[in-house]
């Protein structure tokens, strides 16, 4: 609800740091900078996390893939990051056992996998209960009866951590705001302001009112993910390194159509590896990795992407016989990778890099969701060093290792105890266990704030009261502006429960309309926008969306 006021407040001051982009990278930078006492602002052209940060495989990786590439330091770093994030937001970064099946003639044999996973456990500092075990053929089949038995030798059994990328981004932004950051979604940076050749501000257009703000800052960071080169272009010519975009898609199936018992990570015939991940009532599968030159704003899952993944799954789980009609939802995202001569998409490094332009614009490109905190530390260290050099101001070191994250303030309780308290409080209000567990997985400790809102609403039956409380919280505390924001990024409902999205869309629009004062026309427009998003996941095109020149 502070969106417009925030934009005005940014325009009325000179920020220490302005961040362009409200994905996980921009969110992490704002969090770190705000904790150091910097006056920081974030501008996001669409909704927070609407770019790649809601379209990933949603894993906080330990980095098996990096081990394969010999990137020892990276394995250690991401292993520690995932343990740290789990300790801060246990409802959002969840240990998930994973099978790594081994086949005759596959990329790695039984012993190589066993040694590889052992080294991985050591490097990543994996805790005892989650260290790898090796399963023989019979044990593997017992664990996963659907798995292909032809040539099966056994499997590695290890842990990855599952998350919700968009929710993680929102919680990090909320934490930054609690520490004084100013943020605004639907605020697009359309140009830069210069003094003596140095970039000292931006023009930002409010996408809802078309009002233009000039926002000044001592330092500006471009964290625009797949759009970083578009932003760099607005700052002058693109020189030096460039982005190389690759597209990755995921498909979602009802769990009873792909009833795997465990998540699995396996080879496909073209040498790539894909994940199959059960999550509540669905199982999702991904991802592809193809060079992308279509429209950056609208990556889509094409029919060819769908067929590639279905065929990979049918080959690994031969009895399931998935067909295109089984796909209930899908999402497509773009990896903002850094171009390297002569490398195939899947060979390009996932490392992050910082580019400095002549005007002083700092760009951070590449990287992973998993490494966002370290990326932010690197960027904010650079900003702090520049501010010290320019103005002699000294900011403290990074403190995100120690700092809590919104949704993870458990008031001294262990997470399991906390869950029981929340369940009990839910029961007292007539909220059933399934609803409590869904609320917990979305909001963690902030469920209590939703309960408070629930208590303040008297006129509705308990299900509608709860939906209303959730939407109110979302509008008041998560800058939810449209019904699509709520159904896609704040709850993930469109991806993980499309049918419920179709059933509740109208009610969500009605409730949001009551709170935000929408007239009939606005409500129709909001509903049409939701229907358009539903159509995107239901009707797949044969070709990519064309790039606007």
Comparing CB distances to ligand FAD, the nearer of 45 and 468 is: 45
- CA-CA distance, 185 to 54, in Å (whole number)? 15
- Residue 44 in the binding site for ligand FAD (CB under 6 A): yes
User: What's the alpha-carbon Rg for the chain, to the nearest Å?
Assistant: 23
State in angstroms the smallest separation of the CB of 107 from ligand FAD: 20
- Residue 43 in the binding site for ligand FAD (CB under 6 A): yes
Choices 224-232, 252-260, 313-321, 518-526; region in contact with ligand FAD by CB under 6 A: 224-232
State in angstroms the smallest separation of the CB of 229 from ligand FAD: 10
Select from 34, 57, 175, 363 the one that contacts ligand FAD (CB under 6 A).
57
- Residue 167 in the binding site for ligand FAD (CB under 6 A): no
Torsion of CA 135, 141, 147, 153, to 10 degrees: 50
HEC sequence for 304-323: HHHHHHHHHHHHHCCCCCCC
Nearest to 267 by CA among 313, 217, 304: 313
Contacts to ligand FAD from residues 498-517, by CB under 6 A: none
Size of the site for ligand FAD (CB under 6 A): 39
Which SS3 state, helix, strand or coil, does residue 184 take? Answer: strand
**Residues contacting 67, CB < 8 A, separation 6+:** 75, 116, 119, 120, 123
Choices 222-230, 411-419, 442-450, 481-489; region in contact with ligand FAD by CB under 6 A: 222-230
Select from 168, 223, 274, 450 the one that contacts ligand FAD (CB under 6 A).
223
Nearest to 513 by CA among 504, 524, 501, 502: 524
Query: How many residues appear in the chain?
Result: 549
Choices 104-112, 226-234, 319-327, 354-362; region in contact with ligand FAD by CB under 6 A: 226-234
State in angstroms the smallest separation of the CB of 223 from ligand FAD: 6
- Residue 53 in the binding site for ligand FAD (CB under 6 A): yes
- Residue 440 in the binding site for ligand FAD (CB under 6 A): no
- CA-CA distance, 398 to 378, in Å (whole number)? 9
- Strand blocks (E) in 357-482: 362-366
Select from 52, 179, 357, 482 the one that contacts ligand FAD (CB under 6 A).
52
Instruction: Give DSSP secondary structure letters for 203-258.
Output: EEEETTT--EEEEEEEEEEE--GGGHHHHHHHTS---S--EEEEEEEEEEEETTTS
- Residue 46 in the binding site for ligand FAD (CB under 6 A): yes
Tokens of 15: 């920020």
- Residue 309 in the binding site for ligand FAD (CB under 6 A): no
- Residue 345 in the binding site for ligand FAD (CB under 6 A): no
Select from 15, 17, 18, 25 the one that contacts ligand FAD (CB under 6 A).
25
What does the per-residue mask of binding to ligand FAD show for 172-191, with x meaning CB under 6 A? ----------------xx--
**Residues contacting 293, CB < 8 A, separation 6+:** 245, 544, 547
Q: Please state, in angstroms and as integers, the Cα–Cα distance from residue 432 to each residue in 91, 152, 462, 549, following that order.
A: 18, 43, 10, 52
Choices 333-341, 431-439, 467-475, 489-497; region in contact with ligand FAD by CB under 6 A: 333-341
Comparing CB distances to ligand FAD, the nearer of 91 and 368 is: 368
What is the contact surface with ligand FAD in residues (CB under 6 A)? Answer: 20-26, 43-46, 50-53, 55-59, 61, 188-189, 223-227, 231, 248, 287, 333-336, 367-370
């Amino acid at each position: 609800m502070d969106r417009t006021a925030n934009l005005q407040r940014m325009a009325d001051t000179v920020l220490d740091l302005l961040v362009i982009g409200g994905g996980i990278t921009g969110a992490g930078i704002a969090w770190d900078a705000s904790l150091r006492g910097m006056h920081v602002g974030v501008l996001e052209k669409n909704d927070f996390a609407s770019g790649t940060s809601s379209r990933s495989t949603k894993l906080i990786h330990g980095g098996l893939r990096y081990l394969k590439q010999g990137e020892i330091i990276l394995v250690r770093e991401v292993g520690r990051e995932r343990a740290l994030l789990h300790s801060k937001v246990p409802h959002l970064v969840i240990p998930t056992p994973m099978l790594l099946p081994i086949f005759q003639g596959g990329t790695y044999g039984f012993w190589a996998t066993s040694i590889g996973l052992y080294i991985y456990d050591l490097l990543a500092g994996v805790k005892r209960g989650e260290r790898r075990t090796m399963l023989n053929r019979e044990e593997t089949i017992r664990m996963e009866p659907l798995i292909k038995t032809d040539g099966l030798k056994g499997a590695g059994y290890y842990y990855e951590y599952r998350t919700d990328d968009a929710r993680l981004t929102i919680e990090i932004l909320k934490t930054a705001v609690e520490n004084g950051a100013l943020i605004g979604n639907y605020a697009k940076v359309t140009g830069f302001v210069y003094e003596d050749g140095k970039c000292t501000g931006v023009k930002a257009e409010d996408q809802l009112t078309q009002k233009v703000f000039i926002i000044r800052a001592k330092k500006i960071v471009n964290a625009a993910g797949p759009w970083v080169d578009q932003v760099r272009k607005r700052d002058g010519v693109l020189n030096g390194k460039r982005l190389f975009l690759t597209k990755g898609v995921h498909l979602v199936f009802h769990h009873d159509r792909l009833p795997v018992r465990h998540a699995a990570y396996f080879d496909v015939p073209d040498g790539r590896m894909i994940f199959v991940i059960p999550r509540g009532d669905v199982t999702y599968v991904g991802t592809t990795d193809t060079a992308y030159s279509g429209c950056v704003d609208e990556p889509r899952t094409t029919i060819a992407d769908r067929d590639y993944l279905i065929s990979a799954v049918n080959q690994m789980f031969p009895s399931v016989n998935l067909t295109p009609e089984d796909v209930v939802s899908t999402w497509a995202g773009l990896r903002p990778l850094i171009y390297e001569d002569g490398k195939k998409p899947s060979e390009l490094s996932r490392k992050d890099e910082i580019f400095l332009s002549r005007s002083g614009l700092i760009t951070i490109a590449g990287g992973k969701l998993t490494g966002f905190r370290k990326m932010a530390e690197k960027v904010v260290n650079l900003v702090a060093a520049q501010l010290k050099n320019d103005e002699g101001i000294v900011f403290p070191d990074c403190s995100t290792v120690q700092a809590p994250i919104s949704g993870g303030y458990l008031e001294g309780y262990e997470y399991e105890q906390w869950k029981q308290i929340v369940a009990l409080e839910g029961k007292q209000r007539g909220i059933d266990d399934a609803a409590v567990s869904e609320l917990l997985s979305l909001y963690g400790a902030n469920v209590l704030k939703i309960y408070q809102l629930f208590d303040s609403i008297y006129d509705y039956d308990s299900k509608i009261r709860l939906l209303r409380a959730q939407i109110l919280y979302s509008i008041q505390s998560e800058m939810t502006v449209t019904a699509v924001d709520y159904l896609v990024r704040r709850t993930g409902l469109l991806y993980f429960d499309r049918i419920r999205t179709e059933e509740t869309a109208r009610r969500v629009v009605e409730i949001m309309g009551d709170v935000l004062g929408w007239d009939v026309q606005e409500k129709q427009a909001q509903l049409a926008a939701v229907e358009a998003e539903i159509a995107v996941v239901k009707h797949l095109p044969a070709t990519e969306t064309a790039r606007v020149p």
